[in-house]
Amino acid sequence: MTDTSFAADAAGPGLLRPGRTVPADLAARYRAEGLWNDDTLGSLVSASAARSPASLVRVYSETRPWSGTAADVDRAARALAGSLRAEGVAAGDVIVMQLPNWAEAVVTFWAAAYLGAVIVPVVHFYGAREVGHILREVRPRVVVTADRFRRADYLPLYESLLDGQPGCRWLVAGATPPGRLPGRARPFSRFAAGDPVGAAAVVDPDSPAVVAFTSGTTRNPKGVLHSHRTLSAELRQLGSRGAAAGGPRRGPAPLTGAPVGHFSGMLGALLSPLVRGAPVHLLDHWDPATVLRLMVDENLTVAGGATYFLTSLLDHPDCAEEHWRRLPACGLGGSAVPEAVARRAAGLGIKVFRSYGSTEHPSVTGSSLADPEDKRLTTDGRPLPGVEIRLDEDGEILTRGPELFPGYTDPELTASVFGAGGWYRTGDVGVIDDEGYLTITDRVSDIIIRGGENISAKEVEELFLTIGGVQEVAVVSAPDPRLGEHAAAVFTMRPGRTAPTLDQVRAHLADAGLARQKWPEELHHLRHLPRTPSGKVRKAQLRQQLRGPGLEDIA
């Protein structure tokens, strides 16, 4: 027996077919050890909402605050699912959701689960370039967006992008009156008041459930496919991780500030608390002063995530002992974890433990509070239940496990990362010590992970090269005390041309439509870039220099 995982159909975007195959003996072991079962997102949502109907769901927002229970969200989700089903939306159809951390995001996600639809969460700051690619890749039957959020105005964006997809329904959440919406847009509130569905749709556990788009080495975001089976395995992994971490079962409830359009925010807010019967606390815009106030006023904590979420709190002048007490333990992962940050937190009484994973393989290694402090602070932990890791001759990390993704929306990309036996090439380089603890040391794949968000160096480089006079550029990661790392552009100029300033570079990239989070945050103008004998730029050397003595810029 093998699992019937899926990948994108080579015949065109939006079509899914069986893809990566898990060896029969491995699939049998996952089942025997309880790592795989036949849960679907719909069955999990239905059973969990019925088990803990009074669990609190609360959104902290300047524009759309909301408070209710799991039962309230469940009713709205069933009503939305009923409205969409009445319009012909069925299991396997694709629903794209670009929403901030609002109640409508929870409702939409659960409604998709009831329908057996494939949900595609999109981070709220993605603009026309990224969103256009995603829409072409998955061909949604439904898109659900905000009207506007902070600097983003989604109405003109989607009015333009949906011109080529006449059969796609567009639901808009927000305060814009129906009469002022674009012609094809319809108010979300009307759909969330329809006739509710009963039981969740019955679907194959190996069928697609989520497509999470993440930037990588390619110019466009990669569509990472997850099945109901891999996601339910990840939820069980997260549950066991929480128990192993030794954190208190009672006490402050966690606040999620990571965007639910990001895979980690989606898991942490829309699924994991539900199956644990825990409250959901969402913040739609991460502001350290607001978070610190909420920690005290609402008795909340920040359970962890990318390094930035912790450092932004510790660095804020309002942070005090009353906040440290509400941070008894903090799991860090999803971006570089400087040892200095981990030791600083430990010095304040915060028990830090690190982990390693990705959108493709969410839970690979991790530590628990039972591990020696030095291992928790300086390594990324040991393989989690059911997970295997090994290093190739160059030190690249290969993984496999029950929550490993089945493939990408791009079948060629899928084929490029999977080897014999179902092993996945992570693109990361590491070392494993004698006790089995993994430490990430470098990256093969050309990405920068800024506060948990992936930035494609190639995408930034292509646009940087369109700046007048730039001869060559290498975009690499540089250490960042708050975010773990950020993008640094190391470049050369044509003879006689003046190097651009950082403000000029940012203005150019803004005009090109590149998301602000991807802009370089430091520039280094050199006469020559270091190269290998074959002529390739030594990016590893640049990264090392930026983490050590630094680069000597041309004045």
Q: What is the CATH number of the domain that holds 512?
A: 3.30.300.30
pLDDT, tens digit (0-9, with 9 covering 90-100), for 337-363: 777 778 888 899 998 888 999 999 999
**Residue numbers of the domain that contains 87:** 6-54+68-227
pLDDT, tens digit (0-9, with 9 covering 90-100), for 233-258: 999 988 876 654 444 446 789 999 98
Residue 308 vs residue 543, higher pLDDT: 543
- The conformational region for residue 353 under phi > 0 = left, psi -120 to 50 = alpha, else beta, is beta
Domain contains 74: yes
What is the rounded CA–CA span in Å between residue 388 and residue 399?
6
Choose one of 227, 251, 278: the last residue of a domain.
Answer: 227
Sign of CA dihedral 500, 504, 510, 516: positive
Domain contains 538: yes
Q: Is the pLDDT score of 321 beyond 60? A: yes
Sign of CA dihedral 10, 12, 14, 17: negative
Q: Determine what percent of the chain is predicted with pLDDT higher than 70.
A: 92
Q: How far is CA 515 from CA 103, 146, 403, 486, in A?
A: 25, 18, 30, 14
**What are the strands, taking DSSP E only, across 444-501?**
447-450, 453-456, 470-480, 484-493
Tell the residue number behind the tokens 């050397």, with chain if given. 541
What is the rounded CA–CA span in Å between residue 127 and residue 513?
7
Confidence bin at 9 (pLDDT 50/70/90) = very low
Check whether residue 205 and residue 239 sit in a common domain: no
CATH code (residue 202):
3.40.50.12780
Q: Give the chain's domain count.
A: 3
Contacts of 317 (CB under 8 A, 6+ apart): none
Choose one of 198, 227, 256: the last residue of a domain.
Answer: 227
User: Do residues 302 and 291 lie in contact, with contact meaning Cβ atoms separated by under 8 Å?
Assistant: yes
Q: Is the pLDDT score of 4 beyond 80? A: no
Check whether residue 95 and residue 217 sit in a common domain: yes
Check whether residue 45 and residue 188 sit in a common domain: yes
Q: How far is CA 216 from CA 53, 152, 208, 221, 313, in A?
A: 39, 23, 21, 6, 28
Lowest mean pLDDT among 86-100, 140-154, 315-329, 534-548: 534-548
The residues that bridge with 18 in the sheet, in sequence order, are 6
Check whether residue 251 and residue 220 sit in a common domain: no
What's the pLDDT score for residue 194? 84
Contacts of 550 (CB under 8 A, 6+ apart): none
Domain contains 210: yes
Length of the chain: 555
**Residue (of 209, 255, 216, 192) closest to 61 by Cα position:** 255
Residue 391 vs residue 457, higher pLDDT: 391
Q: Which helix (H) or strand (E) holds 236?
A: helix 228-245
Check whether residue 251 and residue 361 sit in a common domain: yes
